[in-house]
Amino acid sequence: MATTISKPTLGAVTMPFPSEAIIEPFWIFAENTTLGGKTKRDVMARKYKYTLRWNYMVVDKYDALEAVINALVAVTFVYDKWPQSATPGISCLATLSARKLEKGSGDSDFWSSVTLTLTEVSSRI
Protein backbone atom coordinates (compact mmCIF):
# COMPACT_ATOMS: atom_id res chain seq x y z
CA MET A 1 0.00 0.00 0.00
CA ALA A 2 1.43 3.39 -1.00
CA THR A 3 1.98 6.05 1.63
CA THR A 4 0.82 9.59 0.92
CA ILE A 5 3.68 12.08 1.08
CA SER A 6 3.63 15.82 1.57
CA LYS A 7 4.60 18.30 -1.11
CA PRO A 8 8.25 19.41 -1.03
CA THR A 9 9.09 22.53 0.97
CA LEU A 10 11.99 24.97 0.79
CA GLY A 11 12.15 27.25 3.78
CA ALA A 12 8.58 28.47 4.31
CA VAL A 13 7.48 27.78 0.71
CA THR A 14 5.44 24.69 -0.09
CA MET A 15 6.01 23.78 -3.72
CA PRO A 16 3.71 21.79 -5.99
CA PHE A 17 4.62 18.18 -6.64
CA PRO A 18 7.41 18.19 -9.25
CA SER A 19 7.02 16.74 -12.75
CA GLU A 20 10.45 15.13 -12.27
CA ALA A 21 12.62 14.64 -9.19
CA ILE A 22 16.21 13.37 -9.07
CA ILE A 23 18.43 12.67 -6.08
CA GLU A 24 22.12 12.37 -6.93
CA PRO A 25 24.83 11.33 -4.46
CA PHE A 26 28.20 12.92 -5.06
CA TRP A 27 31.59 12.85 -3.39
CA ILE A 28 34.20 15.54 -3.07
CA PHE A 29 37.53 13.75 -3.17
CA ALA A 30 41.13 13.74 -4.30
CA GLU A 31 42.32 10.68 -6.17
CA ASN A 32 45.91 9.82 -7.01
CA THR A 33 47.67 6.89 -8.63
CA THR A 34 51.07 5.94 -7.25
CA LEU A 35 54.09 5.10 -9.42
CA GLY A 36 53.38 1.46 -8.64
CA GLY A 37 49.88 1.80 -10.17
CA LYS A 38 47.92 1.74 -6.91
CA THR A 39 45.02 4.19 -6.71
CA LYS A 40 44.39 6.12 -3.49
CA ARG A 41 41.32 8.22 -2.75
CA ASP A 42 40.87 10.77 0.03
CA VAL A 43 37.17 11.53 0.47
CA MET A 44 36.53 14.97 1.97
CA ALA A 45 32.73 15.04 1.74
CA ARG A 46 29.75 12.97 0.63
CA LYS A 47 26.58 14.91 -0.12
CA TYR A 48 23.36 14.77 -2.10
CA LYS A 49 22.15 17.03 -4.87
CA TYR A 50 18.40 17.29 -5.43
CA THR A 51 16.97 18.39 -8.77
CA LEU A 52 13.26 19.17 -9.05
CA ARG A 53 11.66 20.07 -12.39
CA TRP A 54 8.22 21.44 -13.10
CA ASN A 55 6.71 21.47 -16.57
CA TYR A 56 4.19 24.05 -15.34
CA MET A 57 4.46 26.30 -12.29
CA VAL A 58 2.06 29.16 -11.58
CA VAL A 59 3.41 32.68 -11.10
CA ASP A 60 2.77 33.03 -7.34
CA LYS A 61 4.58 29.74 -6.55
CA TYR A 62 7.56 30.74 -8.70
CA ASP A 63 7.73 34.21 -7.12
CA ALA A 64 7.66 32.76 -3.59
CA LEU A 65 10.38 30.24 -4.47
CA GLU A 66 12.51 32.93 -6.10
CA ALA A 67 12.23 35.15 -3.00
CA VAL A 68 13.58 32.36 -0.76
CA ILE A 69 16.47 31.66 -3.14
CA ASN A 70 17.34 35.35 -3.61
CA ALA A 71 18.05 35.62 0.13
CA LEU A 72 21.33 33.83 -0.77
CA VAL A 73 21.44 31.77 2.43
CA ALA A 74 21.11 28.08 3.14
CA VAL A 75 17.51 26.97 3.67
CA THR A 76 15.84 23.82 4.94
CA PHE A 77 14.59 21.45 2.27
CA VAL A 78 12.04 18.77 3.13
CA TYR A 79 10.73 16.15 0.75
CA ASP A 80 9.55 13.01 2.53
CA LYS A 81 9.77 11.02 -0.72
CA TRP A 82 13.47 10.50 0.03
CA PRO A 83 14.75 9.57 3.52
CA GLN A 84 17.82 11.78 2.90
CA SER A 85 15.62 14.91 2.94
CA ALA A 86 12.74 13.74 5.13
CA THR A 87 11.38 15.69 8.10
CA PRO A 88 12.96 17.66 9.81
CA GLY A 89 14.82 18.39 6.55
CA ILE A 90 18.32 19.20 5.38
CA SER A 91 20.15 22.51 4.95
CA CYS A 92 20.76 23.27 1.26
CA LEU A 93 21.92 25.99 -1.08
CA ALA A 94 19.56 26.53 -4.00
CA THR A 95 19.75 27.67 -7.62
CA LEU A 96 16.83 28.29 -9.92
CA SER A 97 16.89 27.90 -13.70
CA ALA A 98 15.72 30.45 -16.21
CA ARG A 99 11.97 30.94 -16.23
CA LYS A 100 10.51 29.67 -19.51
CA LEU A 101 7.00 30.76 -20.46
CA GLU A 102 4.95 27.70 -21.39
CA LYS A 103 1.38 29.02 -21.62
CA GLY A 104 -0.77 31.96 -20.64
CA SER A 105 -0.35 35.70 -20.87
CA GLY A 106 -0.19 38.92 -18.84
CA ASP A 107 1.90 39.48 -15.74
CA SER A 108 0.19 36.99 -13.42
CA ASP A 109 -1.80 34.53 -15.52
CA PHE A 110 0.86 32.27 -17.01
CA TRP A 111 2.70 29.04 -16.36
CA SER A 112 6.46 28.54 -16.52
CA SER A 113 8.73 25.53 -16.75
CA VAL A 114 11.49 25.69 -14.16
CA THR A 115 14.24 23.58 -12.55
CA LEU A 116 15.35 23.90 -8.93
CA THR A 117 18.74 22.48 -7.93
CA LEU A 118 19.60 22.02 -4.26
CA THR A 119 23.01 21.05 -2.87
CA GLU A 120 23.46 19.96 0.73
CA VAL A 121 25.58 22.29 2.82
CA SER A 122 27.10 19.74 5.21
CA SER A 123 28.90 16.51 4.45
CA ARG A 124 27.36 13.24 5.55
CA ILE A 125 30.73 11.75 6.62
- 3 within a domain of the structure (yes/no): no
- 87 within a domain of the structure (yes/no): yes
Closest CA to 73 of 7, 6, 12, 8: 12
Residue 2 clears pLDDT 70, i.e. is over it: no
> DSSP letter at 104?
E
List, for residues 41-81, the tens digit of each pLDDT value: 898 899 999 999 999 998 889 999 999 999 999 999 999 98
- 2 within a domain of the structure (yes/no): no
Contacts of 21 (CB under 8 A, 6+ apart): 8, 50, 51, 52, 53, 79, 81
- 101 within a domain of the structure (yes/no): yes
- 125 within a domain of the structure (yes/no): no
Q: How far apart are CA 15 and CA 88, in angstroms?
A: 16
Instruction: Count the Cβ atoms, other than its own, within 10 Å of residue 69.
Output: 19
Question: What pLDDT was estimated at residue 98?
Answer: 84
How many domains does the structure of the chain reveal?
Answer: 1
- 48 within a domain of the structure (yes/no): yes
Residue 92 clears pLDDT 80, i.e. is over it: yes
Contact at 8 Å (CB) between 31 and 39?
yes
Tell me which residue range forms the domain holding 90: 9-120
Tell me the torsion sign for CA atoms 62, 68, 70, 74: negative
Amino acid 17 reads: F
More confident residue, 106 or 33: 33
| CATH number, residue 87 | 2.40.30
- 92 within a domain of the structure (yes/no): yes
- 24 within a domain of the structure (yes/no): yes
